[in-house]
Amino acid sequence: MLESNNPRRQSWVEIPEDSDFPIQNLPFGILSRNGGIKKVGVAIGNYAVDLSALYDFGYLDPHEFSHDHFQNDYLNDLLSLGKEKVRALRERISFLLSTDSNELKNDTKLNQILFKASELDMHLPVKIGDYTDFYSSEDHARNVGKMFRDPENALLPNWKHIPVGYHGRSSSIIPSGVAIHRPKGQTIPKDSDQPIFGPSKLLDFELEMAFITYPGKELGDSISTSEAEDYIFGMVIMNDWSARDIQKWEYVPLGPFLAKNFASSISTWIVTMDALEPFQTSGPVQDPEVLSYLKYEGNHHYDIHLDVMIKPENAEPTIVSQSNYKHMYWNMAQQLAHHTVNGCNIHGGDMMASGTISGPTPDSFGSMLEISWQGTKSITLSDGTERKFIQDKDTVIMKGYCHNEDVRIGFGELSTKVLPSK
């Protein structure tokens, strides 16, 4: 066990009992103060550590790191150092913030290193070169198949043989707190064979998790399932917005386009795979047996509880879904192995999303498409209004956390407000 994951380790920083960010977490992100320079930070409790100040004041090894690794718009340069150096950095930060050391606690310059999170602005944590969206929840794929295809043959023939995915748009991935405008596009009215143009009427959220990579191998080489975790830095919550009516008209034959590329929202703190290690769990039995390059040993699924809330303007949020990442059929090791088996190269800061995460029961469905069952049902929110899909001025909030008898590891909040079309 990594010492940074020791559940008995305590911090001299005051941490609320229900915090997402105990000393066993220490997620990485990009922060700034008062519109100033962007810097790499680590969250702990209701505070964040400015790693550029920590470096400048001599707490981090200048032979291993440079100032530019920490005063930076993105985490990519830090990720280029690879898993072992980033792991050692997290271990060092954990020690400095623990009751095992008073060096940082007693430093007169502490107020230049440790800041209240409420004083900070958070930014997109990585410069995302490439983004892949998978389709790896069997319950979600089966629900969609029942709605749009043969209910008796809901899964397509390839679904249990490969982690299905497609290449998405990275330029429109945005951090929590950035509002989106309702997308516009072509839709096909019922009982018509001619499309019309206008704002989407069936705007939907998709509850997903995404992982961020370290630099991979050279073009032509592949990453095996046994190697995959050496190339995965950490995870964020993702809301992969969808315009269902636009998607229905455009997706044949090449898949989603305008229905998906207008925005995908992510939480701003990246929780490392090291912090999530205590929450690894077994996955479903894969039947039929997968091909050899997709076989794996050990536990590569993760027990991450996920909540989705809809908040109308000037009203309290209502929980509309409670799911779990452990429901995924295909795990991250298999996704990365499949992604690279043809020699596709992976860069540091690439992002790969899970696809909609749905569980086996209606209260665990990960999209309004499923919750409303293609608009045939409605849900009632806290202000008494009803929803089948997302309306203008609604805010969709997602939260995720792991917990056991010893510790809780969370991702913070992903919050996005929907504004009317421009």
Summarize the confidence of residues 142-152 as an average pLDDT. 92
Number of neighbouring beta carbons within 10 Å of residue 313:
11
Average pLDDT, whole number, for the chain? 97
The residue ranges of every structural domain in the chain are 3-123, 131-419
Residues 23, 97: contact at Cβ < 8 Å?
A: yes
Can you tell me the mean pLDDT for 241-255? Answer: 95
Query: Tens of pLDDT along 182-222?
Result: 999 999 999 999 999 999 999 999 999 999 999 999 999 99
Torsion angles phi and psi, residue 90, rounded to 5: -60, -40
Q: Please state, in angstroms and rounded to a whole number, the distance separating the CA atoms of residues 56 and 65.
A: 11
pLDDT digits (tens, 9 = 90+) for 37-63: 999 999 999 999 999 999 999 999 999
Residue 94 has which token pair? 């954990």
Out of 140, 301, 338, 339, pick the active-site residue.
140
The residues, ordered by sequence, that sit 6+ positions from 58 with a Cβ below 8 Å of its Cβ are none
Quick one: average pLDDT of 382-391?
Answer: 98
Residue pLDDT, tens place only, 309-360: 999 999 999 999 999 999 999 999 999 999 999 999 999 999 999 999 999 9
pLDDT at 150 over 90: no
3-state secondary structure 282-323: CCCCCCCCCCHHHCCCCCCEECCEEEEEEECCCCCCEEEEEE
Q: What is the pLDDT of residue 1?
A: 85
In CATH, the architecture of 131-419 is Alpha-Beta Complex (3.90)
Percent of the chain with pLDDT over 70: 100
CB-based contacts of 314, cutoff 8 Å, min separation 6: 383
pLDDT digits (tens, 9 = 90+) for 58-81: 999 999 999 999 999 999 999 999
In the CATH scheme, what is the homologous superfamily, with its name and number, of domain 3-123?
Fumarylacetoacetase, N-terminal domain (2.30.30.230)
* Distance set, CA 138 to CA 14, 66, 130, 163, 213 (Å): 41, 45, 25, 11, 24
User: Can 140 be counted among the known catalytic residues?
Assistant: yes
The continuous run of DSSP H or E covering 31 comes out as strand 28-33
